[in-house]
Amino acid sequence: MAYNILIVDDSLTARTFIARTLQMAEVPLSQVYQARNGQEALDLLQRVWVDLVFADINMPTVNGTEMVRQMRAMDLLKSIPVIIISTDRSAQRMAEMREAGVQAYLTKPITPEDLKAVVERFLKSA
């Protein structure tokens, strides 16, 4: 099975790196969507189905925390796994994101093995 993945980050470099790392990890991909902030992601999620979202926290317009909270309030989006990829290693931030509804929290730098493991964890049983 190939997956639709959404990468949400205000940095084009970070989005490109995550997409390439997914390919290096040999994650079976159908479509990789990208959004520059949480609002773009929410708009995109109203039009297309994704299996999993990788997101940053600190973004303009709608940040990662608010994006996740809005997703969890929508019937069609509340079950989509959201994985945060961030440089913020604070226990408080990680706890805040889990409380908002994030399934996992990866800290940068990430490896292909990190991404493959998280995809398998949340999508292989789907």
Condensed to tens digits (0 to 9), the pLDDT of residues 82-111 reads 999 998 888 898 888 988 899 999 998 999
Q: What is the pLDDT of residue 126?
A: 44
pLDDT at 125 over 70: no
In the numeric block, which tokens belong to residue 34?
A: 């990208």
Task: Delineate the domains of the chain, giving CATH numbers in brackets.
Answer: 3-123 (3.40.50.2300)
The residues, ordered by sequence, that sit 6+ positions from 42 with a Cβ below 8 Å of its Cβ are 62, 67, 70, 71
Q: What is the pLDDT of residue 88?
A: 87
Which residue type, as a one-letter code, is found at position 109? Answer: P
Q: Are 8 and 67 in contact (CB under 8 A)?
A: yes
Q: What is the pLDDT of residue 119?
A: 93
Condensed to tens digits (0 to 9), the pLDDT of residues 27-40 reads 999 999 999 999 99
In 3D space, the residue among 91, 100, 30 whose CA is nearest the CA of residue 65 turns out to be 100
Split at pLDDT 50, 70, 90, the class of 1 is confident
- For the entire predicted model, the pTM comes to 0.94
Residue 101: how many CA atoms within 13 Å on its side-chain side?
A: 18
Q: How far apart are CA 25 and CA 85, in angstroms?
A: 16
In 3D space, the residue among 65, 43, 48, 46 whose CA is nearest the CA of residue 56 turns out to be 65
